[in-house]
Amino acid sequence: MQRTTYPSFRETLADSGLVKVAGVHSALGGLLAQEAGFPALWASSFEISAVRGLPDASLLTMTEYLQAAADVQKVAGIPVIADCDTGYGNNMNVAHMVHEYERAGISAICIEDKAYPKMNSFAGTGQELIEAEVFAGKIEVARRARSDLRSYLIARTEALICGRGVDEAIARCHRYADAGADAVLIHSRQPSNAEILEFLDRWQRRLPVVVVPTTYPDWHADDAAKAGVNVVIYANQGLRAMISALRRTYGSIHDLGAADHLTADIASVRDVFRLQRLEEWQHLQP
């Protein structure tokens, strides 16, 4: 089988005014997102944890998250951005992380400025930032650890998530830009994009800006781009759709005692074979 080739995330961003990114947790999800037209993928720690039945609370190891991201990148023809939480530890862990993700072919990573172990941003409690200078040190270490010039480093601030306000979010992102980040991710759990718009109005476009509109999903990507956003990550809609679909499917089979009523609404086995590239593999047989 010929190995899949793909552009780096840095190249993808350079070629586009706005990059829309789909959150995934599996290689199959990556293939479906690529088929839908997305130019990049987000290996979501929330999704990867959830499909193991675990909370997004730093319970899995770097190796487990890396394997999930690498599984996606092996089959996808588009770049993967790896959600690397807080960097899996101290500065030494961050350097090791960069080395390992680069070796796996992951061209973009994102780390955030919360304390380890981190809690998912939408959980009600457990949100704690580390000092900006400490996180800036992690960014500097990650930048120096890179061996591939195409590698892309996104610094994520959780200042708004932790209730610190836009002033602190701006100050932190400027510090992370000084430390060598390639882009900043500004995150909010407010039900509107007001905080994000204030941030963008004051940011002066020093670096590309990444947003994750989970709690304000009505913000159209075109409007986000006009406001100064460069990357929009739809981080968990795929997982949530899967849960709803499986709940309906399993429930109806159990209740009706048969599965024929689902035939028109579910993928055919032939479609699964296509996604698996079964014919390509079968051609290897003598």
- Taking only the tens place, the pLDDT of each residue in 3-47 is 557 899 999 999 988 999 999 999 999 999 999 999 999 999 999
| Catalytic positions, written as ranges | 56
Q: Does 58 score more than 60 pLDDT? A: yes
Cβ atoms 39, 19 nearer than 8 A = yes
Cβ atoms 51, 239 nearer than 8 A = yes
| Burial 224-233, CB ≥16 within 10 A → b, else e | bbebbbbbbb
pLDDT computed for residue 4 by the predictor: 58
One-letter amino acid for residue 97 of the chain: M
Q: Where in the chain is the domain with CATH 3.20.20.60?
A: 9-235
Over range 214-231, report the average pLDDT: 98
Q: Does 70 score more than 90 pLDDT? A: yes
Q: Does 276 score more than 60 pLDDT? A: yes
> Which pair of structure tokens corresponds to residue 173?
């992102």
Band the pLDDT of 286: cuts 50, 70, 90.
confident
Predicted TM-score (pTM) of the model is: 0.96
Band the pLDDT of 206: cuts 50, 70, 90.
very high
DSSP state of 1: -
pLDDT computed for residue 46 by the predictor: 98
Assigned CATH for 9-235: 3.20.20.60
